[in-house]
Structure 1
């Protein structure tokens, strides 16, 4: 008797000289373990057999199981063909278990998506083709900090983006002023939004218990302005030799160390002080933001001044979540001492700088903020940074006489603007002048 596993069981048939009271195993035609095809064919034969008098429920369960296994196998084959079709022409097919080398990835690293602008650039197929073509021509690679959709408008004009309502607060721990804001993606070139110009009002809510038949109180007033502005382009470029363009490490150094940092640095300045016309809309230049300055003769330290400004923001019904200071002012906060000479903010000077939180607020120390001033506010409640595209890196040999000098140009740019939809969520702090 064959030692292979039975495909199932059937009742004996007297026409074959078998005992009808017994169940006889069904073995595959060949002695080896049955393949999916063999199992399918056997079940199909039994289903088509009008004289089959075995357990029909069991047969149907087997048919269902085999059908599911075949569908999974077909899906696996389809995925394999799709992945093979996505490889560039001439690219060798990876064998099972083989790791594909990715430019910019260190030996032993687990393959993963690019985490920076520079990594996305050096891993791009566009850079590979540019090098293979003798580093001639021009190409661009765009990288977004977070996944975002892009709409191709074709012959249709891009539509204006009109932004509704209030953005919910969601504080985090950023290193840049831009990361304090809610960040969204714009698909158009013109940005429209409603700006709340009602101003800080502690009595806007007039809700009250009203007697039967009495006049109900009216809350407000509330006023809104429709603001229409355009997205602004921030860009700069640096020269790089053809030899350096062949070195992934040097390329990443240029892109991360100079180009991307330069864009971030300028973006922070624009968020604070942009004039709103030829530049982005800055928070400090927006009408309607609050202000706090210690009274004349007041000797409050900067540490105390920030705390009192926080109260002003809370009284305006927009709880602050962060404060931006100049490094010189943050230095004064860190070095604030009590009567015994102990630092108030940091107790262990060997452990580095003070925590980047004070009075429950996230602290960003930036030279984009002028010394002697600070900006406190509910950043995510008060403003949104809208970006038309992520950081785009372009490289070309077509600039002035750089072609003959074996020099290329790398250019970085981004398009963005700030929608300050709730100016009352911010408080500008002016610190008291130091007394001798």
Structure 2
């Protein structure tokens, strides 16, 4: 049995509305690619709802959210005031100057604010790693696996990144910046076990079960239904990968943090994004596209609607099913066709200026997420937060050991990253798969 120095990199925190989470629940913190609204943006969104005389949602919940955001803003203001006062304080004459050294990657930002721990930073600063090093990077465990007499090909060594006399603060990204936003479109919850059970609504469109009608006094009331549900039982799936690294390279904290942030944790997020779309639901996570019962839209035979028009018509289909869509996922090539769509005068229809191409991607009021996991010529449109939930047992967990095969004698360590999660697609009709018409 292998002994691992197990580290939960950041711990747990209360949910925040920035990610659509329940503020009363606790979630593991881990790196998620993609932006999130600030407290001010959340405040402004709630103000709009409070001012809306036609708001028909849960007013008690809205007021609670308003109080929570106001408290967080006040807390941030108090923290900022304490920080300014602390920086203005001076030491009496003769007192030693404080130790201002910081660990690599932990330098304050341009405004002097310290950022929260990342997975890699928590791993490097952990007591478990410190104890592991103090033991001489040895563990009491059995050795199994193939017989390796030397560090395998591809192992990270000190020669991979030559030591430098000085290094600028921060970590230089070493990965392609693929968008990792599909997971952020879903409702996210924390699971307490490894088995996941949920009810999937298979009632069909509202016309098949909704018999509500105006009834005359004394008349019989119509009966609606049937409502049909399937009990889905599945398990949380483990996504993991590992890399070998020499003990000498592991002693370089900056290199270690860059390696973990730049490869292992990124790889897990990259895979999670693709599982949400196309997982087979048995040996993999449940993908939305592989779930039976989702809607479909394709222009009629001979119809040459542009992709821009096709998306708008598919949006209407989703609205008629009583599940208004809020986002669309498409292949980068299809989004390119939409952004480059021009009128008879050569003017772009979607963007007014190429200088604005870095703005948030939206079309017909929908958030656009591009992913190479979506096949070219197709797209997934839906009410993602209403239709599916991402259940997570844990955040990204980092483990380290020398017990793999003969890595101990080869002065080689293993760094492993893993997470457990699955997707519950409880309302398939909230999603519509689009198939675009072939270009002439």
Decide: shared fold, TM above 0.5.
Answer: yes
Q: 2:322 is matched with which residue: 314, 317, 320?
A: 317
Question: Which position in structure 2 is the counterpart of 1:303?
Answer: 308
Question: Which position in structure 1 is the counterpart of 2:129?
Answer: 127
Q: Say whether residues 1:289 and 2:294 are aligned partners.
A: yes
Which portions of structure 1, spanning 4 or more consecutive aligned residues, are displaced by more than 6 angstroms?
Answer: none
Structure 2 CA distance for aligned equivalents of residues 108 and 206 of structure 1: 61
Q: 2:234 is matched with which residue: 229, 246, 249?
A: 229
Question: Which position in structure 2 is the counterpart of 1:103?
Answer: 103
Structure 1 CA distance for aligned equivalents of residues 395 and 349 of structure 2: 41
C-alpha displacement of 1:338:
1.1
> More relative contact order in 1 or in 2 (CA 8 Å, sep 6+)?
2
C-alpha displacement of 1:207:
2.2
Q: Residues 319-334 of structure 1 correspond to what in structure 2 (within 5 A)?
A: 319-334=324-339
C-alpha displacement of 1:354:
5.5
Residues 1:342 and 1:101: Cα distance change in structure 2 (over 3 Å):
same
Structure 2 CA distance for aligned equivalents of residues 212 and 344 of structure 1: 54
Please report the TM-score for the alignment, with normalisation by the length of structure 1.
0.66
Question: Which position in structure 2 is the counterpart of 1:258?
Answer: 263
Structure 1 segments unaligned to the other structure (5+ residues): 1-94, 140-173
Structure 1 CA distance for aligned equivalents of residues 214 and 295 of structure 2: 32
C-alpha displacement of 1:130:
2.0
CA contact (8 A) 1:104 1:123 kept: no
CA contact (8 A) 1:313 1:377 kept: yes
Question: Which position in structure 1 is the counterpart of 2:161?
Answer: none
C-alpha displacement of 1:429:
0.6
Residues 1:189 and 1:343: Cα distance change in structure 2 (over 3 Å):
same
Residues 1:243 and 1:114: Cα distance change in structure 2 (over 3 Å):
farther
Structure 2 segments unaligned to the other structure (5+ residues): 1-94, 142-178
Question: Which position in structure 2 is the counterpart of 1:77?
Answer: none
Question: Which position in structure 1 is the counterpart of 2:428?
Answer: 423
C-alpha displacement of 1:243:
2.2
C-alpha displacement of 1:322:
0.7
Question: Which position in structure 2 is the counterpart of 1:361?
Answer: 366
Higher gyration radius (CA): 1
CA RMSD of aligned residues (A): 2.4
C-alpha displacement of 1:134:
2.0
Please report the TM-score for the alignment, with normalisation by the length of structure 2.
0.65
Residues 1:429 and 1:107: Cα distance change in structure 2 (over 3 Å):
closer
Q: Deviations over 1:354-402 (max 9, x none)?
A: 6311111111111111111111000010000111111101111122233
CA contact (8 A) 2:288 2:425 kept: yes
Residues 1:391 and 1:209: Cα distance change in structure 2 (over 3 Å):
same
